Structure 1
Amino acid sequence: MTHERAILRIHFHHSGNEDLYHQLLTVLDGISPRWQAQPPTAADHDITGALKYFDRHPRDLAQLIALRAAALYGTQTTIGGGNSILIAAMAADATPPGRITIIDPTPDAIAAFLSPRPVHALPGIGPATATLLTRHGLHTIGALADTPLLTLQRLLGKTTGREIADRARGHDPRPVTPGTAPASRTARHDFTHDELDPGQHRRAILALAEQLGTGLRHTHDAAGTLTLDVRYADRSHTTRTRTLPEATNHSAALTHAAHRIYDHLGLQRARVRTITLRASALRPATAAHHQLLLDASDDKARRIEQAADAARARFGPDAVFPASLAPSP
């Protein structure tokens, strides 16, 4: 029996506990060691070799992973599968929680899955790009696939246009790169309803940056990169990562960087469900270099931060927080 390339995107439904996330990743080793962590709750899993070993369909192995995650750790999973990371990720995003969707690797099956989906469901297309495409009458991925490459390149630029054209046809040669979960720290905010107010989005980001900064200072780490993931009501999402000018655990610097990433998304009336902020490329804070500024306010902010950390250590994590995060009277 021969097997096409088979990739799974697995979403673990846990509360953001990083220790549990690392334990869940060990479930994948029982099927195949070729997995790549996608913190804070997901992983890509190349099971091509495992299909021959187990002599099973990808759906069977996906069900086995779901069963083991539930039995060993009490964690529900949502799994999508296909012949590439792109198809697997999109299948997972289109799957109801706790279910499995496997897209057959035939060109007809891939086209049938992709064609009717809105352009914003294609990874790499954020709200601003989706608005540009729909303004030119390109509302679905099928319409993108049927658009001449030169037309897309005129709209999006040479490199981006070619990348979007390839993805719209389901072409994605990226490999799953095996390795351990990268050192990172994650904070997540789930809104109780579809939140359209940018002010509430920015307020949530402030709280997440404060949470990350406090945690990093507690472990004496500093972050080199910051990733913002925004998940919408239709379960699509946008992820952007930025390398920080200098590794930091300063809450104000993390907040400023996170707000800049958010502003560059250009969200307008977006129905946001979840915002996740991840600090990665961690290193010991003692190895991070802080550029000295002739700015008394920066010095004062860091002294206040130290005092706030001391108060939290003595009286609990909610002892001190920014005034803008105080509950409304």
Structure 2
Amino acid sequence: MEEIPHRAQLPRKRFSLRSSGERSIAHMDLDTFFVSVERLMDSRLNNRPILIGGTSDRGVVASCSYEARKFGVHSAMPMKMALEMCPEAVVIRGNSANYTKYSNLVTDVIKENVPAYEKSSIDEFYLDLTGMDRFFGCYQFASELRRQIMTETGLPISFGLSGNKTVSKVATGEAKPNNQMKIDFGSERPFLAPLSVRKIPMVGEKTYQTLRHLGVKRIHTVQDMPVEMMERVLGKHGRSIWEKARGVDTTPIIQYSERKSISTERTFDKDTIDVVKLESILMAMVENLAFQLRRGVKLTACITVKVRYSDFNTHTLQARIPYTAADHVLIPKAKELFKRLYDRRLLVRLIGVRMSHLVSGGHQMNLFEDNVEIQQLYQAMDKMRDKYGDRSVIRAAGMQARTIGRMTNPFNGDPPNLLANRRA
């Protein structure tokens, strides 16, 4: 691990990336992000074991401090179990609006200084620094950027730097807490070799158990295995995991854009003023879009409702919200926007909903208020929808919406507005 270099002036966007076979990819991760935000607002929490999540016995741990992790506590653990393991922990319900605010502050600093970056979740970023060594080195640039983020936001952040996303992400994990690490070109395999196979991105609990049954615990074992064996045991993901274990990853940086969105519209064959029908269709739209977010492991921070009247005048209203993919958060907000838009004196020709400012992140942003039963309910409904179709499980209030439009896969590329507008 290298020392942080002397502070230098960060170059602004006055350069172009060079064409080279060697990439420089940094992975930045805000350390125990939710906990760090809470400690910014209340210094009395410093150095104490912290649990953030649902505060009832049925709640779930969304995040925990390093002090709590020493007792074996981890995220997604039932709060009751966590408190049994660490009874002196301070339990905080959490405030997703505050976490969204600080995530955006960090994003603004990165956007100002880095030509190409990917926001992979609310607290993780990949930066493409290829070609920036022409100034004073990619590692020094990343170090200065890390220092600037800590100075301007007060949040601890770690990073790993290497030639690809996989090695950089693993390096960040090894550098934590609140540190940095560089893996030189050609040293990827020796760096990865002694680590647990759980460190490889894509290796979840099921894959890990499969590898354990083969006697595989360390990455060096995977490195020495024939790729054909990995494919035979793990199927289509076998080769990808084998390549990652050997430090090979050609995955590109997917440029982050807050304009990214999914949306749907419903145009009526006959204009209507039936508010019950309109709200039912609106609810069905939001419910389906929320399911698509969860299926794509995405969160939204902005919801927009659109109403077009019979005279073709179109009005939209949007609201910024804490990152979420939960029906019970999005539906009330959409209904609130619709009530502010709706003019009962005019017939409605079209209504639509759009969710934008998407980031990766799954459902964790709702663990502060959800209990285990709500999470299990979402998982059960989504599983049935995956198997039997998007409309196989719906709320009773949304049953008037016979169709809500056809969706292509919204998370396999462009264009951003991916729900077809269908007449009903």
Which bin holds the TM-score, normalised by the shorter protein?
0.5 to 0.7
Does the Cα contact within 8 Å between 1:62 and 1:100 map onto a contact in 2? no
Does the Cα contact within 8 Å between 2:222 and 2:245 map onto a contact in 1? yes
Q: Distance in 1 between matches of 2:181 and 2:208?
A: 25
Alignment of 1:26 onto 2:105: no
Cα drift, residue 163 of structure 1 = 1.1
Task: Determine which structure has the larger helix proportion and give its number.
Answer: 1
Alignment of 1:149 onto 2:227: yes
Alignment of 1:169 onto 2:246: yes
Q: Partner amino acid for 2:130?
A: T
Does the Cα contact within 8 Å between 1:210 and 1:255 map onto a contact in 2? no
The counterpart of 1:219, out of the listed 333, 347, 369, is 333
Which residue of the partner structure matches residue 265 of structure 2?
none
Alignment of 1:84 onto 2:164: yes
Cα drift, residue 185 of structure 1 = 4.1
| Residue aligned with 1:48, SS | coil
Which residue of the partner structure matches residue 5 of structure 1?
23
Cα drift, residue 261 of structure 1 = 8.2
Cα drift, residue 74 of structure 1 = 1.5
| Residue aligned with 1:93, SS | helix
Q: Distance in 1 between matches of 2:189 and 2:122?
A: 30
| Residue aligned with 2:239, SS | helix
Alignment of 1:105 onto 2:202: no
Cα drift, residue 114 of structure 1 = 0.6
Q: Partner amino acid for 1:82?
A: S
Q: Distance in 1 between matches of 2:140 and 2:361?
A: 36
Q: Partner amino acid for 1:142?
A: H
Does the Cα contact within 8 Å between 2:132 and 2:138 map onto a contact in 1? no
Q: Partner amino acid for 2:139?
A: R
| Residue aligned with 1:71, SS | helix
- CA 130–25 in structure 1, closer or farther in 2 if over 3 Å, else same: same
The counterpart of 2:217, out of the listed 139, 145, 149, is 139
Q: Distance in 1 between matches of 2:231 and 2:252?
A: 25
Alignment of 1:69 onto 2:142: no
Q: Distance in 2 between matches of 1:152 and 1:117?
A: 18
Does the Cα contact within 8 Å between 1:152 and 1:161 map onto a contact in 2? yes
Q: Distance in 2 between matches of 1:21 and 1:185?
A: 13
Which moved further from structure 2: 75-84 or 26-35? 26-35
Q: Partner amino acid for 2:138?
A: P
* Residues 148-194 of structure 1: per-residue CA shift (max 9 Å, x gap): 1121122112x2221111111111001112122456348xxxxxxxx
Q: Distance in 1 between matches of 2:373 and 2:216?
A: 40
Which residue of the partner structure matches residue 256 of structure 1?
377
Does the Cα contact within 8 Å between 2:25 and 2:162 map onto a contact in 1? yes
Which residue of the partner structure matches residue 46 of structure 1?
128
* Residues 234-258 of structure 1: per-residue CA shift (max 9 Å, x gap): xxxxxxxxxxxxxxxxx99875333
Does the Cα contact within 8 Å between 1:153 and 1:161 map onto a contact in 2? yes
Q: Distance in 2 between matches of 1:111 and 1:292?
A: 47
| Residue aligned with 2:175, SS | coil
Does the Cα contact within 8 Å between 1:78 and 1:100 map onto a contact in 2? yes
Q: Partner amino acid for 1:103?
A: I
* Residues 216-236 of structure 1: per-residue CA shift (max 9 Å, x gap): 234327879982579xxxxxx
Does the Cα contact within 8 Å between 1:3 and 1:48 map onto a contact in 2? no
RMSD between superposed Cα atoms in Å: 3.7
Does the Cα contact within 8 Å between 1:104 and 1:110 map onto a contact in 2? yes
| Residue aligned with 2:255, SS | coil
Q: Distance in 2 between matches of 1:112 and 1:56?
A: 27
The counterpart of 1:96, out of the listed 163, 171, 176, is 176
* Residues 310-329 of structure 1: per-residue CA shift (max 9 Å, x gap): xxxxxxxxxxxxxxxxxxxx
Q: Partner amino acid for 2:30?
A: F
Please give the TM-score of this superposition, normalised by the length of structure 2.
Answer: 0.46
Q: Distance in 1 between matches of 2:375 and 2:214?
A: 37
- CA 56–177 in structure 1, closer or farther in 2 if over 3 Å, else same: same
